[in-house]
Amino acid sequence: MAELQLQHEVEPQLLNGDDLNEEKEDADAAESVKKKRRKKKRNKTAAAAAGTNEAEGDGEAGGVGDVTKQLEQQTLEDKEREEDGEEDGDEGENSAGKKKKKKKKKKGLKGQTDPPSVPICELYPSGDFPKGEECEYPPSKDGCVTSTSSLTRSSSLPLRSAAWRTTSEEKRALDRANEEMWSDFRQAAEAHRQVRSYVRSWIKPGMTMIDICEKLEDCSRRLIKENGLKAGLAFPTGCSINHCAAHYTPNAGDPTVLRYDDVCKIDFGTHINGRIIDCAFTVTFNPKFDRLLEAVRDATNTGIKFAGIDVRLCDVGETIQEVMESYEVEIDGKTYQVKPIRNLNGHSIGPYRIHSGKTVPIVKGGEATRMEEGEAYAIETFGSTGRGAVHDDMECSHYMKNFNVGHVPIRLPRAKHLLNVINENFGTLAFCRRWLDRLGESKYLMALKNLCDLGIIDPYPPLCDIKGSYTAQYEHTILLRPTYKEVVSRGDDY
């Protein structure tokens, strides 16, 4: 049986003749002649069968070398088939392995690179972006949410839980109706989280502020997949240092270098379809500032905790001040009480409008206006070891078109051109001089001043406390959804 199987496997390869040389072809021709003779002998007499068998023996003997070569060739082909089977997979187990390999490839495509370069929309092609931290709204009495101080004064009054919002079909339906808007916020927030995680991995003393800002903004543009006014950066990267609390970004030629004993506030924003994420954190290298950062971070989280639908803005400010002033810090042998910077505030956020009208104070005595369902807020706090108040100082770098400005006649041709550039690239979003340089604009300072004088563009100079003081900042964007309060920019870092 084994010999028969061997002959049956070898004959098709002999007939194919793919690998035979000229000598093999001659041998095949001679063998075919012998086969014809054997057929004739079979037809004449049965006695000639013995002679035919002898002829067959002679033919097989003549083809032993060829058969041996064919066996070697077949062995090589079998090995190639096995290797192909390992790569491509066979039916059954091999096909299942192939499916697993395909799944791994798809999963690999969804992973982020290092450094980050894959846009968030490609990491989540289904559009199901990660949610932020979902929190229940604080309890209320007769529709009025209480602060910590009012809870102390009226602890005997019954409070109504806001848990009903999470189970109400009406509120759930309203939540689903705005899902597209929430999704835009979440996409921008995920880009912000990944960018700031990347920034923390390389920011260090000795870097120039221009290098820090440009490296951060380049990464942010990639992850948000910048596309005109549909997706991009919401405002310039703030990198205010020490006594400067906000609105500082370097202009071209600024030689400022980050030092070991600096307290640097990194404040940058992203947006999708005008849905802005405004989020900030503070970077230090010397552990002597840890207590200052802890105080401001705690105050920001307290403000987030007590914010909610129907909450009075002044109550949020009061709780923030109570928490921040409870901290003391010792820096270089001197003790300071951490003071909230009273003329800096959080704010509501609107489409393509970073400050949309309502302010969230960080001290008591602010407006009694209430937060409303469906709004977005930037809850930010600033702590200082100085006077606790800021003033305009240093060279201006931040600018923004007045959201409510109507038609204003412009005489200077260069001012008209600059306004067209601003409308096309930034709209009503904030921008800086570095970004105008990046667009190829030059000698625009006179035109920019003219637009500011006409009230079309508003300048936002750096805001500073007294020199020698230190300021810190933490900020998150929250969404007042019908069902939950979502801290959409929350991450593992803060």
Active site residue 367: no
Active site residue 267: yes
For residues 167 and 171, what is the distance between their CA atoms, to the nearest angstrom?
8
What are the angstrom distances between the C-alpha of 479 and each of 132, 177, 317?
9, 15, 18
**Choice among 175, 315, 380, 486 that is catalytic:** 380
Of 452, 463, 461, nearest in space to 396 by CA = 461
**Choice among 243, 271, 347, 398 that is catalytic:** 347
For residues 203 and 123, what is the distance between their CA atoms, to the nearest angstrom?
25
DSSP string, 389-410: --EE-S---EEEE-TT------
| Helix residue ranges per DSSP H, 89-168 | 93-109, 120-123, 148-153, 164-167
Active site residue 128: no
For residues 98 and 92, what is the distance between their CA atoms, to the nearest angstrom?
10
For residues 145 and 130, what is the distance between their CA atoms, to the nearest angstrom?
29
**Choice among 28, 133, 355, 373 that is catalytic:** 355
Active site residue 170: no
Of 226, 277, 234, 201, nearest in space to 119 by CA = 226
Sheet holding 244-246, edge to edge: 244-246, 463-464, 391-392
Active site residue 271: no
For residues 443 and 7, what is the distance between their CA atoms, to the nearest angstrom?
90
**Choice among 175, 278, 318, 465 that is catalytic:** 278
**Choice among 66, 217, 262, 267 that is catalytic:** 267
Active site residue 278: yes
**Choice among 298, 475, 476, 486 that is catalytic:** 475
Three-state SS at 492:
coil
Residue 369's CB: how many other CB atoms inside 10 A? 15
Catalytic residues: 267, 278, 347, 355, 380, 475
